[in-house]
Amino acid sequence: MTQLQARGVVRAYGPTPALRGVTLDVAEGEIVAVTGPSGCGKSTLLHCLAGILRPDAGEVTWRGHRIDTWSEAARSRLRRTEFGVLFQFGQLVAELTAAENVALPLLLAGTGRREARTAALTWLERFGVADLADLRPGEMSGGQQQRCATARALVTEPWVLFADEPTGALDTLTGEQVLTQLVRLAREQRTAVVLVTHEPRIAAYADREIVLRDGLVDHTGLGLDVPLAGGAR
């Protein structure tokens, strides 16, 4: 079932067009990679889908409701309750410990302190950083912070996780461990993921890949049926 839809989404920054009419669907629990060269509009599309940016034209609908026309307050509530967002550099709150950072989305949603802390510790454990629970971001490596940020993005068990180059700042092995775990947990709890990346090997974790080029979906990007030479593999 389609949960999230974009229809002819157009967005410019002043005179610079970033999206020139993008249409796509994301089904419940589906993992979709959005790829394409630098500047093709991936981040802009993610922000429009997540209700962070408003398109200049076109529509974004969430379970049949048009959300691009909603007020900032309503969209921000939607992001808090139904969505999770994860960027390249975790963006943890510097003054809070790892456990407090991960508990924060639950506290904002009205969960009690003790319950939120317990859930935070469980999620830190799932990303292998439970021992860092009482450290602040400044006391952690970039990779450790990113694991905490990933835990924070999933702790509310959102319907959709929007992830923009979530492993872009990590070394190959660390990035892979974080991503494997993210994808595994997302599949377990049926969280859909919109995964922005310019790396083919990261996109390969998704169920489907959408290639953008100059602000449009590039139909020559993928999916051609071609014979394999010699039939060999």
Partner 1 sequence: MSTPHVLLGLLAGGSRHGYELKRAHDQRLPRARPLAFGQVYATLGRLERDGLVATAGQDRASGPDRTAYELTGEGRATLDRWLSAVEPPMPYVASTLFAKVVVALLVADVDRARSYLVAQRAAHTARLRELTAVKADPAATLSDVVAADFAIAHLDADLRWLHTTLGRVADWHREVHP
Ligand X SMILES: Nc1ncnc2c1ncn2[C@@H]1O[C@H](COP(=O)(O)OP(=O)(O)OP(=O)(O)O)[C@@H](O)[C@H]1O
Binding site for ligand X (CB under 6 A): 13, 16, 18, 38-44, 198
Of 165, 166, 192, 187, whose CA–CA distance to 178 is shortest?
A: 166
Q: How far is the CB of 44 from Mg ion (least distance, A)?
A: 8
Q: How far is the CB of 52 from ligand X (least distance, A)?
A: 12
Q: How far is the CB of 44 from ligand X (least distance, A)?
A: 3
Q: How far is the CB of 153 from ligand X (least distance, A)?
A: 18
Nearer to Mg ion, 158 or 166 (CB): 166
The pairing of strands 16-27 and 2-13 is: antiparallel
Q: How far is the CB of 182 from partner 1 (least distance, A)?
A: 11
Using CB atoms within 10 A of its CB, is residue 199 exposed (0-12), middle (13-18) or buried (19+)?
middle
Which of Mg ion, ligand X, partner 1, none has residue 82 at its interface (CB below 5 to 8 Å by kind)? Answer: none
**Helices (H) then strands (E): counts for the chain:** 7, 10
Which of ligand X, Mg ion, partner 1, none has residue 16 at its interface (CB below 5 to 8 Å by kind)? Answer: ligand X
Nearer to partner 1, 53 or 206 (CB): 206
CA dist., res. 168 & res. 17, Å (int): 25
Which of partner 1, ligand X, Mg ion, none has residue 204 at its interface (CB below 5 to 8 Å by kind)? Answer: partner 1
DSSP code of residue 227: P
Are residues 82 and 160 in contact, defined by beta-carbon separation less than 8 angstroms?
A: yes
Asked whether the CA dihedral 94, 98, 102, 106 is positive or negative, the reply is negative
| Interior angle at CA 162, CA 101 and CA 168, nearest 5 | 80
Residue 43 lies near Mg ion (rule: CB under 5 A): yes
Contacting residues toward partner 1, per CB under 8 A: 180, 183-184, 199-201, 204-205, 209, 220, 222-224, 226, 228-229
Which of Mg ion, ligand X, partner 1, none has residue 226 at its interface (CB below 5 to 8 Å by kind)? Answer: partner 1
